[in-house]
Amino acid sequence: TAHISTIDIVFLPLQVVSSGVFELKIHSFHTAQRICRRHRDCHIFFRICLKHPEDVISAEPPCTFGTGQTNVIRADHTSISSSAPIRVPFHFKWPGTFSLIIEAWNAESPTEYTDNQNNLVSRLATRRRLAIGEDWSQDVHFGEQSELRYSYHVFCDEYYFGDGCADYCRPRDDTLGHYTCDEEGNRICLEGWKGNYCSEPICSADCSERHGYCEAPGGCTCRMGWQGPSCNECVRYPGCLHGTCSQPWQCNCQEGWGGLFCDQDLNYCTNHKPCANGATCTNTGQGSYTCTCRPGFGGTNCELETNECDSNPCKNGGSCNTMTGGYTCRCPSSYTGSNCEKKLDRCSNRPCLNGDKHKPINTPSLNDWPPLIYWMLNKVFLPSAGGECLDLGQSILCRCQAGFTGANCQVNIDDCASSPCQNAGTCQDGVNDYTCSCTLGYTGKNCSVRSDACGARPCQNGGTCFTHFTGPVCQCPKGFMGPSCEFTLQPSFKPALRQASQPTSTTVTISCILAILVLVLVAGILFLRRRRRMQGRKQLSDIAVYNDLETVNNLGGNEREAFLGPNGLFKISNSTARLSLSLCPDGERQDFMWRDEGGLGSGAGLR
C-alpha cells in the first residue's frame, strides 16, 4: 500500500478581475492504490470543479461556477500539505449553495495529464452550502480506497461587498466621484462633496442656491445676471446711475430721479433748494423747476424784491397797502378775499325763514319753539324754504310769506287774535289760517251756522225725533226700541207687558219692582257716561252750556212739552241729562224713548 504525504501544489491565481474568489486548501491525501508506476520521482496535482447545485452530481463538464488546479507537486505528505490553495474566481452573485468535485491526477505521462483517464488517481463529489466570509471550513472525505482532508472558504474580491459580492464600491477622487467605501460597500463622500456618487461640490454656506453654484467645495460662482459674494445681488442695467433692481438688467430709479438710466434729477427742489426768500419750489421734471414767489419778490429764483402794489392786485375797488414781504388789500363792504375778489352774498346763508315751499309745522304756535330749535328746523331740515331775501349791500331785507312777520320772517302771525270763532267755538292758530272747534248745534268756518240734529231723519220705523243739547232723541212707536228705533222688541218681552186686563196685585207689584230696578240701572249707566263726557269736555266754557240750554228753550211746542211737561212720560234734566221712564201700567201706553249720547247708531243699549 502506497502512502503519500502532503503534496505541495502551487496554483497561480488568474489575473482577471472578479467579484469573489472560492479558495480550497489540500491538507493531506492517502490512497491504497499505487499513484505512480515508478516509485522514485512521483508527481501529482489536484483539480477542482465548481458547479451549480445538483441532486446527482455529474463529473462531466461544464463546471458552471469555474475550475482550478494546483501545480504539479511531489507526491509526498510535505509537498501536499504545503501546496498553495486552489483559487476559483467568479463574476456573479454568490448563490451560497454549490456542487464540488475534487480530482487527484498523477503527472507521469508526457502528454496532457487529464486526457488519459489512466492518470486519474481519485475523484470525489459533494454538495455544500457556504456563505461569504474569511473563515475556513474544514472537511474530510473518505472514498473506497482514499482519504482526503481539505478546507475551503469564499470571500469577495477587492471593491466588492455584500452577501453575494454583488455590491461594487471602489474609492475614487476624480471627476466621476469623490468617496471612500465602508465595510458594507456604502460610499462615504469626501469632505466638501455630496450626491449619490459624491460628484456635487458643497458650495459656501451663504451661496444662493438659485443664483449661484460652485465647481469646487467652498466656492460660489454666480450665474449670469447675479453678483456678490453670495450671488444674491442682481446686476443693474448697464449705465444705470441712481437706480436699483430686483431682477437682472433692471434700472428702477430712486426717489427724485428719472430717465432710462436714472440720471435725470426729478427732485431738483429738494436736492438744490434754488428758490430764495421763502418761495415755493415745484419740480417740473428732467432737472427743471419753477419758483412761486411770495408777494414783494420776483425773478427766476425769487431773488429780486419788488413793490406788489404796482401790479394793482386789489380788485373791485380795493385799496393796496405795501408791507414788508407783501401787501394787504382793504376791500369794499360788499367784497372780501385776499385780493377783494369774492363778492359777499348776505343771502347765501338763507337768513329769511318760513317760506312757502314747505308745509307748516303742526303745532299750536310756531313761536313756541326756542330760537335755536326754530332756526334748525327751517335752516337744516327744511333748507329749501324761506322768505325772499334782498341784499341791500349794507344790510338785507326779508320779504315774508303770508302768515309770517319779523326781521327774518321768524314770527308766525297769530290768526286767532281777532277771536274769529263764534258761539263759544275754540280757535287753533295755523300758518296764515286758523281752525274753529264748534260747540254742539253750530258749524261752519267760524261756528256761525246753526245745525239741526233731526235734519238727517235719524229715527227709524216711524219714530219721532226731538232735539236735545246732547244730540237727537228718538221716541219709538209701539213694538220698537233702540237709539234710532232700529230694534224690534223680543216676543218674550211682549207677554210680560200684555197680560190680562185685570192683573192681580202680586203681578203689579213685581212689575213695578222690575221697572224700578231697570230705571236704577239705566240711571247709573247714564250717570257714568255723562261723567266721562263732562271730563272730556272741560275746555267748553259756560257759554257752551248756555248755548245748549238755549237750544232746548228754542224748541217747538210739542218737542219742548215732551221734554219739560210735568205730565210727560219723559223728564229730562239739562244738568245731568237723565232720562226718566215710567213702566208702571197706569194705562195701555207702552212707548219707549231712547237717546244716543255718543251719536246715532253708536250703541244699542237701553239708556
pLDDT at 201: 93
Per-residue model confidence as pLDDT tens digits over 364-402 = 444 445 555 544 555 544 444 467 888 776 678 898 988
Q: What is the pLDDT of residues 86-144, one digit of tens each?
A: 999 999 999 999 999 998 888 866 556 666 777 888 888 899 999 998 889 999 988 77
Per DSSP, the residues of 502-567 read: S--HHHHHHHHHHHHHHHHHHHHHHHHHHHHHHHHTTTS-HHHHHHHHHHHHTS-HHHHHHHH-TT
Q: Which helix (H) or strand (E) holds 80?
A: helix 78-81
Q: How is residue 40 annotated by DSSP?
A: T
Give the pLDDT confidence score for residue 536 in this predicted structure: 58
Q: What is the mean pLDDT of residues 311-340?
A: 84
Return d(Cα 85, Cα 591) in angstroms, integer: 161
What confidence tens digit (pLDDT) does each residue in 555-584 have?
Answer: 444 444 443 344 443 343 333 333 333 333
Contacts of 283 (CB under 8 A, 6+ apart): 266, 267, 268, 269, 289
Strands 434-437 and 426-429: what pairing? antiparallel
Q: What is the mean pLDDT of the chain?
A: 77
The sign of the CA dihedral 16, 17, 20, 23 is positive
Closest C-alpha among 32, 291, 281, 250 to residue 145: 32
Cell 297769530 appears where?
A: 414
Beta-bridge partner residues of 465: 474
pLDDT above 70 (res 501): no
Strands 146-156, 20-31: pairing kind: antiparallel
CA-closest candidate to residue 397, choices 387, 384, 410: 387
Single out the residue of 97, 94, 150, 93 nearest to residue 124, CA to CA: 150
Please tell me the distance from the alpha carbon of residue 497 to that of residue 511, in angstroms, as a whole number.
9
Q: Is 135 exposed, middle or buried (0-12, 13-18, 19+ CB in 10 A)?
A: exposed
The letter for the amino acid at 455 is: G
**Which position has the grid cell 424784491?**
305
Q: How far apart are CA 379 and CA 350, in angstroms?
A: 7
pLDDT for residue 16: 44
Q: Domains along the chain?
A: 20-161 (2.60.40.3510), 169-201 (2.10.25.140), 308-343 (2.10.25.10), 464-499+508-595 (no CATH)
CA dihedral 485, 487, 492, 495 (to 10 degrees): 20
Give the amino acid at 480.
F
Residue 435: what pLDDT? 93
Give one DSSP letter per residue of 422-465, joined into a string.
-TTPEEEE-SS-EEEEPPTTEESTTS-EE--TTTT----TTPEE
- pLDDT > 90 fraction of the chain, expressed in percent and rounded: 30
Cell of 463: 219714530
- Let me know the angle formed at the C-alpha of 43 by 38 and 47, rounded to the nearest 5 degrees: 135
If residue 269 lies in a helix (H) or strand (E), which one and from where to where?
Answer: helix 268-272
Which pLDDT belongs to residue 399?
87
Tens digit of each residue's pLDDT (9 = 90 or more) over 240-295: 999 999 999 999 998 878 889 998 888 888 878 889 988 899 888 777 889 998 87
- In angstroms, the CA 447 to CA 523 distance is 33
DSSP 3-state of 113: helix
Round to whole Å and give the CA distance between 15 and 400.
133
Q: 434-442 long-range CB contacts below 8 Å, 24 or more apart?
A: 439/540, 439/543, 439/544, 439/547, 439/548, 440/469, 440/470, 440/471, 440/544, 440/547, 440/548, 440/551, 441/469, 441/547, 441/548, 441/551, 442/547
Span of 376-380, 413-417, 516-520 with lowest mean pLDDT: 376-380
Task: Write the pLDDT tens digit of every residue in 10-37.
Answer: 333 334 467 899 999 999 988 877 777 6
DSSP 340-394: S-EE--TTTT------SSSPPPSSS-GGGS-HHHHHHIIIIISTT---EEEE-SS
- Per-residue pLDDT, 113: 63
Q: How far apart are CA 564 and CA 579, in angstroms?
A: 11
CA distance linking residue 240 with residue 323, whole number of Å: 50
- The answer to whether the pTM exceeds 0.95 is no
Of the candidates 136, 59, 64, the residue with the CA atom closest to the CA atom of residue 98: 64
Q: Strand, helix or coil at 501?
A: coil
